[in-house]
Amino acid sequence: MSDITQLENELLAAIASAKDEAGLEAVRVAALGKSGSVSALLKTLGAMTPDERKVQGPAINGLKERVGAAIATAKDALGSSALDARLNSETVDVTLPVREAPTETGRVHPISQVTDELTAIFADMGFAVAEGPDIETDDYNFTKLNFPEGHPAREMHDTFYFPQKPDGSRLLLRTHTSPVQVRTMLTQTPPIRVIIPGRTYRSDSDQTHTPMFHQVEGLVIDKGSHLGHLKWILEEFCKAFFEVDQVKMRFRPSFFPFTEPSLEVDIQCRRDKGEIRFGEGEDWLEILGCGMVHPNVLKNCGLDPAEYRGFAWGMGIDRIAMLKYGMNDLRAFFEADVRWLAHYGFRPLDFPTLAGGLSS
Ligand code: DAH
């Protein structure tokens, strides 16, 4: 057997036994690559006599072509069997249910939803949002709001205090959002129109109280502000928030150190088998406290009571959320139970707007 025939047999056997495309490529390089065996044979042609070349030339070139063709055929075969193998292993079960995207399965907590809803309503009336820290000074939480030292109203707040500092002062977890009224008046010049949603803290826990809860405060300071403005704002807010055409409200005299006069507001409702309907019925439900900002508070915040007047209100966000969406245990709000959130939560892409609907 000639060398050429023997080499051809060896190469064809190697091609036939290549298991995958990488193995076949190795055979191709070993035969037809720059220093491959067939290329080496081709290089010998240059040193041959013309007569030898006439015989060997077609023989070696024939070998090169046949090996090349065999590699091409094997490559095709390996390629399609690799595809077959992939198709066999990568099955798609078209009967499986479609999995929802995270934007579909995630839920917005009712507190965040209600905060967004009331922000949308007050923004439409020209209110900006103001914020303050959860950890407050006694001065901002009480003293500047006209709670004198030792005044019994301080005791009503069940305050969480931090340890006393060497100078005798102590920080606290704010018991209401009202200290942000002080912060706003100290840093902004009237006219002021802000709402202040945020977390508040009191040492209290039962079905309708949790140690951490949420309030939204409102504050308006201007030259001619009066109770009529306050009543209109609160009425418009309640209609928009509870999504009803009519609300009947009742203003009762009350007491807060930082307002004079002070009022508590009830809205008319009907209780129907555990459900509450607004805009009808004979029952009354308290929803907020409000009043004209006390002249002492204006003075404490650097404003002249002879020039400016203001009104303010404070409302429990958790409470109005429970009323609007029929949730009866406040503690569940903060238990982080995904089943509760899946039931009471809101779809993340349905952002509340007055135009597009608040809670649809
Ligand atoms: N800060 C009061 C509270 O937590 C609520 C409140 C009442 C706020 C009257 C006000 C207001 O701004 O005018 O009990």
223-241: average pLDDT: 96
Q: Is 146 left (phi over 0), alpha (psi -120 to 50) or beta?
A: left
As a whole number of angstroms, the distance between CA 176 and CA 195 comes to: 13
pLDDT at 319 over 70: yes
Among 78-82, 164-168, 206-210, 219-223, the range of highest mean pLDDT: 219-223
pLDDT at 167 over 60: yes
Query: What is the pLDDT at residue 163?
Result: 95
Tell me if the bond preceding 133 is cis, omega within 30° of 0. no
Distance (angstroms) between ligand 1 centre and the Cα of 141 equals 11
**Looking at per-residue confidence, does 225 or 283 come out higher?**
225
Q: What is the mean pLDDT of the chain?
A: 91
Ligand 1 atom closest to residue 218's alpha carbon, by position in its atom list: 12
146-153: average pLDDT: 86
Query: What is the pLDDT at residue 234?
Result: 96
- Residues at CB less than 6 angstroms from ligand 1: 176, 178, 217, 256, 259, 289-291, 312-314
What percent of the chain lies above the pLDDT cut of 90?
A: 60
| pLDDT-based confidence at residue 290 (cuts at 50, 70, 90) | very high
Distance (angstroms) between ligand 1 centre and the Cα of 111 equals 19
| CB atoms near residue 159 (< 10 Å) | 19
**Window from 97-101, 131-135, 216-220 with minimum mean pLDDT:** 97-101
Distance (angstroms) between ligand 1 centre and the Cα of 289 equals 5
pLDDT at 108 over 90: yes
Distance (angstroms) between ligand 1 centre and the Cα of 77 equals 82
129-138: average pLDDT: 97
Query: What is the pLDDT at residue 268?
Result: 87
Distance (angstroms) between ligand 1 centre and the Cα of 256 equals 7
Reduced to 3 states (helix: H, G, I; strand: E, B; else coil), residue 349 is coil
What percent of the chain lies above the pLDDT cut of 70?
A: 99
| pLDDT-based confidence at residue 1 (cuts at 50, 70, 90) | low
| CB atoms near residue 127 (< 10 Å) | 20
| pLDDT-based confidence at residue 171 (cuts at 50, 70, 90) | very high
Ligand 1 atom closest to residue 263's alpha carbon, by position in its atom list: 9
Query: What is the pLDDT at residue 191?
Result: 97
151-174: average pLDDT: 89
Distance (angstroms) between ligand 1 centre and the Cα of 294 equals 12
pLDDT at 256 over 70: yes
Distance (angstroms) between ligand 1 centre and the Cα of 177 equals 8
pLDDT at 190 over 70: yes
Query: What is the pLDDT at residue 330?
Result: 83
The predicted-structure confidence for 33-49, as pLDDT tens digits, reads as follows 898 899 988 889 888 89
301-326: average pLDDT: 94
Q: What is the pTM of this model?
A: 0.72
Query: What is the pLDDT at residue 269?
Result: 82
Q: Is 342 exposed, middle or buried (0-12, 13-18, 19+ CB in 10 A)?
A: exposed
Q: Whose CA is nearest to atom 4 of ligand 1?
A: 176
Partners of residue 108 on adjacent β-strands: 346
168-192: average pLDDT: 96
Q: Whose CA is nearest to atom 6 of ligand 1?
A: 314
pLDDT at 298 over 80: yes
282-310: average pLDDT: 95
Q: Is 345 exposed, middle or buried (0-12, 13-18, 19+ CB in 10 A)?
A: middle
Ligand 1 atom closest to residue 291's alpha carbon, by position in its atom list: 13
Ligand 1 atom closest to residue 259's alpha carbon, by position in its atom list: 13
Query: What is the pLDDT at residue 274?
Result: 67
Q: Which residue has the tokens 């003075």?
A: 299
Query: What is the pLDDT at residue 360?
Result: 63
